[in-house]
A and B are shown apart, each in its own frame.
Chain A
């Protein structure tokens, strides 16, 4: 496949970073296979590709976290003050904001700035740090309510992500020249994400550069001046954003987007949905075979409502063979994956009590269950005895889906299960959920993305920990959800 140089738009300045023919091998796997890419001042590069395409590896080469096995990295502002790896990249103004949060929850907001900013020492360092982080927060997220003295662990997920982004853009010993944003909006609600996108545009207009990684195509098109598409460790297309369409981009990434969100018909759901099977104190209710969505701005009590419901209906020794509810985690590392175990053991965990006799696990039945679900849900591995961590994020997520669906639980609770999952896997998951609902399973589905919520039969919109609206059928539209999320709320931030 042809390797694109990425210098699509000619810029007069020296490029901030230039990869040429960079290869990274992890054992036999080629995570990066001859990537050449330059980023010049003023550019905002959308880096696209589905899970495992090599985006993270490319980013880690740029920020000095990885040294390429072949090829090299050059920085535009190298001032001779050598250093290696991450320190060298930082000295050249390269900053990264990662998908998984990299703050220290035990420190305050300003103290967290001490970690990347090496010049914060001596008397008065706290004042300097507070000024830097407050300045960046005020500039990017006007109206935020974060004090520099607040302990990060006490902030909401969205606020933490805001701090992380602000730390990336904050002025420091070297000014930020190229900021890498890896899924920066995954925990932000729409209005705050908008503030960020506007800041990115301002930043680039002033001569900064941004590498923007997001699975939200709309966002990418809004900010990117150029889009580089990665697949199998290579850049397979690099063009100005204006030359792409959303459909064209998805096609380029190698997945056929199925435009059938509205495929379900009223008749179909009427046949499927039965009597009420659950009701929670918040007023959440669901019927047999129904897919119930939880929507609203991120962090308004949806995840907590789900967790409370799940906790109240599970964990009793007497009911492990016949669980009432099963859980699909979105935050895989925190809520789902057993890192020391094989794929098989991870997959069978919830259903395992039904495969035991006198307390002993029936290994044959367990193997059979695993093989069955590997086929049904399409887990890409040659051996289920491989470690779960050998799978890509999307495939790990499939294992977690299988874990819940393999159980006999009539209710499945899903806590934003598509976080960081590629488009293809998403479509497969949608189909799976609909099929299971047709068999009479009830789904409680919290999602931060509107197109997912639109897959549901009924939607509860949350605001400030309470249900602010219940939508169903044709009433489930982005406008209605937004209206219920924001109603009577002066400040969106």
Chain B
């Protein structure tokens, strides 16, 4: 409930997991080790931010994974072969996101289902673009993603920048405040003469924008794409937002927390491979880590929470 405690959990869970990884594999405690650990975290963090934009306005996006896959396919094909057309397609997909947001609000549709439908659409488009894995990453993205800044690896720098910028945009700016207000009390926003439809479309457009960034970055790392490349991002991004202290309703989100949550999830995969766990239990252990971290959340949310009626906070 309380803003102060909200950020503690993601910080703590990331720290603990990082400490565990370093303990198991001391060599990870280096420039290259960190780069390796967090390399794939950048697109996950961006996808989590995209999901957060939707959760911020009390909706949920089940199409993030297929959308990022679609963007990856566009990046590895059109953006590489015909950059202008590629950019146009990506802009159009952001507009499509905005249109979906408007449609959901105007017709009062359940976002969970519309985005479920959209996940089929994006998935289908991705299959049409790249029926089998392939394509190539544009050289400039490769360059950006493999830059080696001094002292701290690119992945960490990128995550700090993403967290900082989205914090400014969502938590500090007046537009971000208005968007969060939609999640908190859309009726009050409408009563003050704002168009909630436009605001929701804006939030969805932001989600589309960050989804595009996630897809482009992903291809920059993997150098090629396939239609199923990011399917698991849907569930990862939802888990990341919640892990980061966000809540499904009420416009309570934290961009910094979301990035930290995404890092934690990315790290959990590396942690398990260092554990030399039997492959049978790899998935299960991810579930267990998720449960464990959320159980710790209980301790934080209990503190400072006043008794405020029935316990369906």
Contact = CB atoms under 8 A, between A and B. Distances in A.
Q: Do chains A and B directly touch (beta carbons under 8 Å) in the complex?
A: yes
Interface of A: 65, 83, 85-87, 90, 96, 102-107, 111-112, 114-116, 118, 120-122, 125-126, 151, 153-154, 304, 307-308, 311, 335
Given A125-B174, A151-B3, A106 B250 contact: yes
A104 B181 contact: yes
Contact of B188 (A103, A151, A308): A103
Interface string B263-288: 00000000000000000000000000
A116 B187 CA distance: 12
A96 B194 CA distance: 16
B294 interface: no
**A-B pairs with lowest CB-CB distance, top 3:** A104-B184, A87-B193, A102-B188
B245 interface: no
B185 A103 contact: yes
Tell me what chain B mostly uses at the interface: helix, strand, loop, or mixed: helix
B140 to A, nearest CB: 33
A102 B185 contact: yes
A181 to B, nearest CB: 16
B184 A107 contact: yes
Contacts, number: 73
B252 A115 contact: no
A107 B181 CA distance: 7
27 contacts: A65-B191, A86-B191, A90-B192, A102-B191, A103-B185, A103-B188, A104-B180, A104-B183, A104-B184, A104-B188, A105-B184, A106-B184, A106-B250, A106-B252, A107-B177, A107-B181, A114-B177, A115-B181, A115-B188, A115-B194, A116-B192, A121-B174, A151-B2, A153-B1, A154-B2, A307-B309, A311-B310
B178 interface: yes
Interface in B245-262: 250-252
Interface in B47-105: none
B189 interface: yes
Given A107-B184, A115-B178, 15 more contacts: A65-B191, A102-B185, A103-B185, A104-B183, A104-B188, A106-B250, A114-B174, A114-B178, A114-B181, A121-B175, A122-B174, A125-B174, A126-B172, A304-B307, A308-B307
Contacts of B194: 115
A112 B310 CA distance: 26
B187 A106 contact: no
A335 to B, nearest CB: 8
Nearest to A334: B309
Contact of B183 (A106, A154, A335): A106
Nearest to B249: A106
Among A112, A115, A311, the one with the most B-chain Cβ atoms within 10 Å of its Cβ is A115
Nearest to A84: B193
